[in-house]
Amino acid sequence: MVDIRLAHSRQKPEKHESEELSNLVSPGNIITADTGFMRGHGTYMEDDKLYASVAGVVERVNKLICVKPLKTRYNGEVGDVVIGRIIEVQQRRWKVETHSKLDSVLMLSSVNLPGGELRRRSEEDEKMMRLYLKEGDLISAEVQSVFSDGSLSLHTRSLKYGKLGQGSLLHISPSLVKRRKTHFHNLPCGASIILGNNGYIWISPTVNEETDQTGGYEQNFEVYIYPVQRSDREVISRLRNCVLALAEHKMQLYDTSVLYTYEASLNFAVKDILKPEIMSEIIDSAQQRLEREGT
């Protein structure tokens, strides 16, 4: 099936007029000529006027004015949930790619090792590091601290964090992930989703709570022993396409928005979700439902 479209038969999205537009700026826009404000991230001062240096939304906290960019690398904050990929095993630490400006580190001392939480990290453990996590592995983790240069130190000292097994990884803009109390969701449709603050989204089949929360260091990748059912795969693919659709329409991602989009998409085949006209239809109906009953 090949479906070729022409660029100028593309429909222009209807303009939703909203108040939000008033605080949307592009680089070089004057935010204020008032001198009583402080210059925050994403802004610069010239001739006593405050300009935006990035395209995004103006945010004001008391006297401080910042512009939060729409398209950005991930700026980590302590406590954020992130998904990352191990890119290097080093002395007592792993280098992790988390879509921030600099690579993050995961110290050997900030992971849960098999066999007890409060165990001294011996030389043996150092030698075994590649056995726990090797290059290419995906992990979920929490930001423990931010170094002065902006790079992040991660930790996985909770059973919900750790190595990720089978599933699907998506990359979207970090500014689209809404900060919530929890970023781990077991959706009623039969899949789990981790909305990483760094814009990496992990969708996997829901696992049995009791048996599989081992911090993930003994994850089983043997798909021939634990195959993912076709129905699960369909759900995961549908969720993946829904998340992409939300990101394409610049909608905030959180459990409710993902779930409503998923439910709105059920009338369509999985592969059709990414077609522009069907995508906007799904997003429109999800958006209406969010406005009506969303939280």
- Residues of this chain that interact with other proteins (CB under 8 A) are 1-10, 136-137, 165-168, 221-223, 227-228, 230, 233-234, 237-238, 240-241, 269-271, 273-276
Closest CA to 86 of 19, 131, 37, 39: 131
Task: Name the residue nearer to other proteins (CB basis): 89 or 290.
Answer: 89
Task: Name the residue nearer to other proteins (CB basis): 65 or 95.
Answer: 95
Closest CA to 166 of 103, 246, 228: 228
Task: Name the residue nearer to other proteins (CB basis): 51 or 202.
Answer: 202
Length, in residues, of the chain: 295
Strand order in the sheet with 24-25: 24-25, 56-61, 64-69, 38-39
Shortest approach of other proteins to residue 97 CB, angstroms? Answer: 13
Task: Name the residue nearer to other proteins (CB basis): 270 or 290.
Answer: 270
Shortest approach of other proteins to residue 275 CB, angstroms? Answer: 6
Shortest approach of other proteins to residue 204 CB, angstroms? Answer: 9
Shortest approach of other proteins to residue 183 CB, angstroms? Answer: 22
Task: Name the residue nearer to other proteins (CB basis): 234 or 284.
Answer: 234
Closest CA to 153 of 206, 101, 96, 192: 96
191's CB contacts (< 8 A; 6+ apart) are: 203, 204, 205, 206, 232, 235, 236, 239
Shortest approach of other proteins to residue 244 CB, angstroms? Answer: 8
